[in-house]
Structure 1
């Protein structure tokens, strides 16, 4: 099997599952046993990074209040419908802890409180994003969904993950394949 780990999935217009409509997902794991990914283009509207710090009691409340707005007001992404209360951080290779997993040679995944503290109080990774929840597929499930034209695969581009505004990531992912919403067809082609 060809692993898609480190690539993006882009939901097709006819995605049957509303939870994934217009989603861009970074696959952080893919093997014969299944796949795991994080939605990287849907924000949780009423939740900010400072709210997470407060809820988890990860810093002195006065220190959290004094954080720069760029840190306090960071968006929290809806990473997926599985384990919605669990946090996952995608970040650059300049941060590592004992529980850091390499997704690509440039992008790592950490799901411990230490990375949240580092993001808030330093030393922070150069670039990072925080998501609650993840996406999961059983053995062969993702391959079947791709075969049924549910997803497009897009090669990894760091810019899409960290430099493109969240609300523009879906269109940017399509553009990287030289297509737009208008030219995207929901009809599958099989040779």
Structure 2
């Protein structure tokens, strides 16, 4: 039996999430296998604008609509490195394909392309990412830490960060106020 993969799913932090890094976090899972899971928090701006990031890496950024876009806190792993979640997938040096339409790229060539006005149509840049070792995410799910739902790229790339969590929660089709922080086991 093939193990369940949650790639291309949203992880929605339960309202009782105690870890302040993940409280009200919406995570897009890029990869999930028996070896672990990798994702990016897509709703927590870091306080750094794209213009600042591009200045730090010595790339010009002339496009006004991108200059003020936020760089996001993607997770606690490698928070000093940039990661680009984007669509379409393109042909970059180092990309992890989440789907045929969405990839996470870690190589600078995608940022060079953005600075030259030929980057991906849709993108979200993070500092850091989230990672779970083998079995860790499954344990957190069993302990009622997260909800999962099929990811909707329109939430990631089309909505302001402050409404992404609630919009993903709405995909579940029930009132989140009715959730209990207690895990039930029969």
TM-score (normalised: structure 2): 0.93
Q: Provide the residue aligned with 2:133 in structure 1.
A: 138
1:157 pairs with 2:152: yes
Assess if the C-alpha contact under 8 Å between 2:63 and 2:117 holds in 1: no
Assess if the C-alpha contact under 8 Å between 1:171 and 1:180 holds in 2: no
Shift of 1:25: 0.3
Q: Provide the residue aligned with 2:37 in structure 1.
A: 35
Aligned to 1:21, which of 23, 47, 51?
A: 23
Assess if the C-alpha contact under 8 Å between 1:26 and 1:39 holds in 2: yes
1:188 pairs with 2:172: no
1:172 pairs with 2:161: no
Alpha-carbon distance between aligned partners in 1 of 2:95 and 2:45, rounded to the nearest angstrom: 23
Alpha-carbon distance between aligned partners in 2 of 1:21 and 1:94, rounded to the nearest angstrom: 29
Assess if the C-alpha contact under 8 Å between 1:25 and 1:38 holds in 2: yes
Aligned to 1:127, which of 122, 127, 130?
A: 122
Shift of 1:94: 5.2
Shift of 1:54: 0.8
Extract unaligned runs of 5+ from structure 1.
none
TM-score (normalised: structure 1): 0.91
Task: Report the 3-state secondary structure (helix = DSSP H, G, I; strand = E; otherwise coil) of the residue aligned with 1:19.
Answer: coil
Extract unaligned runs of 5+ from structure 2.
none
Bigger mean CA offset, 101-110 vs 145-154: 101-110
Q: Provide the residue aligned with 2:112 in structure 1.
A: 117
Q: Provide the residue aligned with 2:98 in structure 1.
A: 103
Alpha-carbon distance between aligned partners in 2 of 1:48 and 1:116, rounded to the nearest angstrom: 14
Task: Report the 3-state secondary structure (helix = DSSP H, G, I; strand = E; otherwise coil) of the residue aligned with 1:161.
Answer: helix
Alpha-carbon distance between aligned partners in 1 of 2:10 and 2:149, rounded to the nearest angstrom: 5
Alpha-carbon distance between aligned partners in 2 of 1:106 and 1:180, rounded to the nearest angstrom: 30
Alpha-carbon distance between aligned partners in 1 of 2:183 and 2:159, rounded to the nearest angstrom: 29
Q: Provide the residue aligned with 1:5 in structure 2.
A: 7
What is the CA RMSD across the aligned residues, in angstroms? 1.4
Q: Provide the residue aligned with 1:58 in structure 2.
A: 59
Alpha-carbon distance between aligned partners in 2 of 1:86 and 1:94, rounded to the nearest angstrom: 20
